[in-house]
Amino acid sequence: MTNYAEFAVRSASLASDFGAEFAAKHFAADVLAKLPRYVRGPKKGKLKGEVEWVRCTRGGWVRGTGWDSEGYAENRVGRIIEVKLIGPGSYHVRLGMMPGPVIARVDPTDMPRQDAA
pLDDT value of residue 117? 43
- Summarize pLDDT for 51-63 with one digit per residue, the tens: 889 999 999 999 8
d(CA 8, CA 85): 17
Answer yes or no: pTM beyond 0.75. Answer: yes
- Summarize pLDDT for 8-51 with one digit per residue, the tens: 999 999 999 999 999 999 888 888 888 889 999 999 999 988 88
One-letter amino acid for residue 31 of the chain = V
- Go through 8-29 and write b for each residue having 16 or more CB atoms within 10 A of its CB, e for each that does not: eeeebebbeeebbebbeebbee
Q: Where are the domains of the chain?
A: 6-110
